[in-house]
Structure 1
Amino acid sequence: MREPIAITSIASISALGKTQSDIWMQYQNDSHAIKLKKFDTSSAFVSEISEKDKEEIDALIKSDSKYKNLDASVLFAIYTSRKAIEKAGWDASDNFGINIGSSRGATSLFEKYHQSFLKYDFAETLTSPTTTLGNISSWVAHDLQTKGPEISHSITCSTALHSLLNGVAWMQSGMADKFLVGGSEAALTGFTIAQMRAMKIYASNEAEYPCRAFDLEKKENTMVIGEGASMACLEKGISENALAYIAGIGYATEILEHNISISTEADCFQRSMTMALGDTDPDEIDAIVMHAPGTIKGDISEFKAISTIFCNKTPFLTTNKWKLGHTFGASGMLSLELALFMLVHQQPVSVPFAMDQDQPKKLHKILVNAVGFGGNAVSVLLTR
């Protein structure tokens, strides 16, 4: 890193809650936020925002008449962006950049408009502008009244951490001093569930933990979809308000043998972690927040990649997908939020059914991983 990049705030909304105190409290127990949800013709395990917290989104819709036509993914992004910049002490005059992504985009709204098209044979007026990835960053910029650069993208499940990479790149180039980055996902629809089931990766059995993320002995795939959003405020230089600093970033894409596959040794993760580490001795890493989607191959291949890079001493390993499901494009930032919690509170968060590990005596440097369909891995090194 050419110069320090501080994370001065983070905000999220998910099945774990909407305030940092409530979310951290949820991480103190071994319970999960996954439940069985009924769809039109089926039911599936999901992780969704509570009805009480959705009241906050309803209030947001009422704050601007234009918001009633937006997808939930955009509304989640606006809500968490407001919270993030409030905690960071930013205002519109800062002209900060915005880079927010989503893997699925305006899922529910797109499906609604498509059903209308099939029925009436014409598209409703607002179909295109509201479903082009939801125009997610443009709407956040509108809400926050900032005039900085705004970027939206979709890079499957590593989307949120790719947003962070891009924000860092803009800041390191000297083109911006502050960037709001993150991801948002609201894809709990029957059609989305059917897509995951078609790939035979979705959780199917009722158990104490429907999603067995980082269970290296599981005999079946156990991925569960969740919804939520998380945004972080990045600032160039040293900040007295810093929760942590970004000490390294890494990325890699591997050539795939199959549309959704990852190599057995997760070559993309090996390269992204190596790049993020830079000159840092791997033995200095205290913990890794894994991507660990709950699939057999996904979990094991990432673990193999970690074992290869950290051959002398494997850091403490954890993930949060057993607790809140896989939030697709938002998942990387929710993983980064977990890493920040562990750094700030100096307390590791374990996966209750994972392999036995020694608890770290300190937490100074934590690596966060994300990867998505397409073999696009991202690793971010955080330090206190």
Structure 2
Amino acid sequence: MQQLKRVVVTGIGALTPIGNTSEDYWNNLSKGVSGAAPITRFDAEKFKTRFACEVKNYDPLDHFDRKEARKMDLFTQFAQIVSAEAMADSGLDIEKINVDRAGVIWGSGIGGLRSLQDEVIDFTEGGHTPRFNPFFIPKMIADIAPGLISIKYGFRGPNFTTVSACASGTNAIIDSFNYLRLGMADVFITGGSEAAVCQAGIGGFNALKALSERNDSPETASRPFDRERDGFVLGEGAAGLILEEYEHAKARGAKIYAELIGGGMSADAHHMTAPHPEGLGAKNVMINAINDAGIDKTEVDYINVHGTSTPLGDLSEALAIKDVFGEHAYNLNISSTKSMTGHLLGAAGAIEAAACILAIQNQMVPPTINHSGDDEKFDAKLNFTFNKAQEREINVAVSNTFGFGGHNTSIIFKKFEE
């Protein structure tokens, strides 16, 4: 049987509602800062939800020239920016690696939703004149993000986008992990980006009754596991990771953040948008990831949960954790960083993977903020890390992401040891 290779993280980039670099992102995560505020990207006055977790102080001209920026949807711009930060952080020298064995796998649940929306609006308001932006299709398609990243760096290895709703970013990381440990590549830029804070995004999720409508207090609206949670808060942004085969990273003297040791996938096979009520898919995916990592469940210290702040989703995931971990569930720290960032859809798994890696680096669990009242449906002995970060020894961290359609993904990072 083929000996699987080790895979390590050597670079991180982040552009989030609470920080426009990975360093700022972590600082605000650890402080419990909320990224929710009234929407600025469009006039939301007529919508049931009038707030979101937008990226702050973002000007595309700080990163691209005007002509280049006009060719890219916001989700692609975000992908380019975090990839550049991760590449710089990794210290990779393109001249010294085999670009035929370097790939890009990226996650996005929707792609260029805003570009699609705007082109349709322009068409309908323009007297039905069939005049479209020549970059409309490239701006819209989800796979353009990894395509443009590979063009920028000349990476000629595997290149595609994973689309599995809110599990997309984690799926991209798992696919990259598998190529690397099977010896089919040396390096991957991977992660996810999303930019769905637009009329279609807010309106569509409002119609599903999925969003919080706490317009009088946006900063407290995302409240996973709280008694008064009423839906998720839509977010936007991206995160990118540089994953490398360990010997490749070692040979060039790379700094190593953590080791990626396992990944799991499963399906609920239950409902279009609702989770399995007993958390069956969530249970299976965590078991799959633990088995893939070859560890005992008692080795897990921290779970960054999907935890969207919806009544059904939070409960099913908590039930799954108790089912999988048994008595060890009470030794875990559990937290939902969506309480701060909102839900970045296809990019959620990417920014939450970064949160797990940085938690291991800093030996600190970021909090689940906005908790004000216990829900009796949850086991009171579970440690949801409410409202304040907690220092603890973290050797193994799990990140869960689940998506509409019943897609479940889970990945496991470990403190790096030679």
CA distance in 2, matches of 1:123, 1:134: 24
1:1-384 matches, cutoff 5 A: 2-37=4-39, 38-39=43-44, 41-42=46-47, 44-51=50-57, 54-55=58-59, 57-62=60-65, 65-93=67-95, 94=97, 95=99, 96-118=102-124, 119=126, 120-124=128-132, 125-133=134-142, 135-205=144-214, 206-207=216-217, 209-215=220-226, 217-218=227-228, 220-237=229-246, 239=250, 240-256=254-270, 258-278=271-291, 279-314=294-329, 315-352=332-369, 353=371, 357=383, 361-384=392-415
Change (3 A) 1:23 1:129: closer
Contact in 1 for aligned 2:304/2:335 (Cα 8 Å):
yes
DSSP 3-state at the match of 1:381: strand
> CA offsets per residue over residues 322-355 of structure 1, 9 Å max, x none?
1010000000111111111210011122213276
CA RMSD in angstroms, aligned pairs only = 2.0
> CA offsets per residue over residues 68-112 of structure 1, 9 Å max, x none?
221000010011111111111224443210011211110111111
Deviation of 1:39 after TM superposition, in Å, equals 2.4
Change (3 A) 1:129 1:361: closer
> CA offsets per residue over residues 284-305 of structure 1, 9 Å max, x none?
1111000111101111101110
Contact in 2 for aligned 1:138/1:150 (Cα 8 Å):
yes
Contact in 1 for aligned 2:305/2:336 (Cα 8 Å):
yes
Contact in 1 for aligned 2:32/2:366 (Cα 8 Å):
no
Range that drifts further, 189-198 or 235-244? 235-244
DSSP 3-state at the match of 1:165: helix
> CA offsets per residue over residues 146-188 of structure 1, 9 Å max, x none?
2222112321001000001110121122220111111000111
Deviation of 1:191 after TM superposition, in Å, equals 1.7
Paired letter, 1:44: R
Deviation of 1:123 after TM superposition, in Å, equals 4.4
Change (3 A) 1:335 1:316: same
Contact in 2 for aligned 1:40/1:190 (Cα 8 Å):
no
Contact in 2 for aligned 1:183/1:231 (Cα 8 Å):
yes
DSSP 3-state at the match of 1:32: coil
Contact in 2 for aligned 1:180/1:234 (Cα 8 Å):
yes
TM-score between the two structures when normalised by the length of structure 2: 0.85
DSSP 3-state at the match of 1:260: coil
Change (3 A) 1:89 1:360: closer
Deviation of 1:253 after TM superposition, in Å, equals 1.2
Deviation of 1:133 after TM superposition, in Å, equals 1.9
Deviation of 1:18 after TM superposition, in Å, equals 1.8
Deviation of 1:40 after TM superposition, in Å, equals 6.3
Deviation of 1:200 after TM superposition, in Å, equals 1.1
DSSP 3-state at the match of 1:133: coil
Unaligned runs of 5+ in 2: 375-379
Deviation of 1:67 after TM superposition, in Å, equals 3.5
Contact in 1 for aligned 2:9/2:241 (Cα 8 Å):
yes
DSSP 3-state at the match of 1:179: strand
CA distance in 1, matches of 2:198, 2:67: 25
CA distance in 1, matches of 2:335, 2:123: 45
Paired letter, 2:366: V
Aligned residues: 377
CA distance in 1, matches of 2:362, 2:233: 28
CA distance in 2, matches of 1:146, 1:265: 43
CA distance in 1, matches of 2:316, 2:61: 41
Change (3 A) 1:221 1:245: same
DSSP 3-state at the match of 1:105: coil
Paired letter, 2:186: D
CA distance in 1, matches of 2:111, 2:22: 25
Unaligned runs of 5+ in 1: none
Deviation of 1:140 after TM superposition, in Å, equals 1.4
DSSP 3-state at the match of 2:326: coil
> CA offsets per residue over residues 133-152 of structure 1, 9 Å max, x none?
26111111122232222112
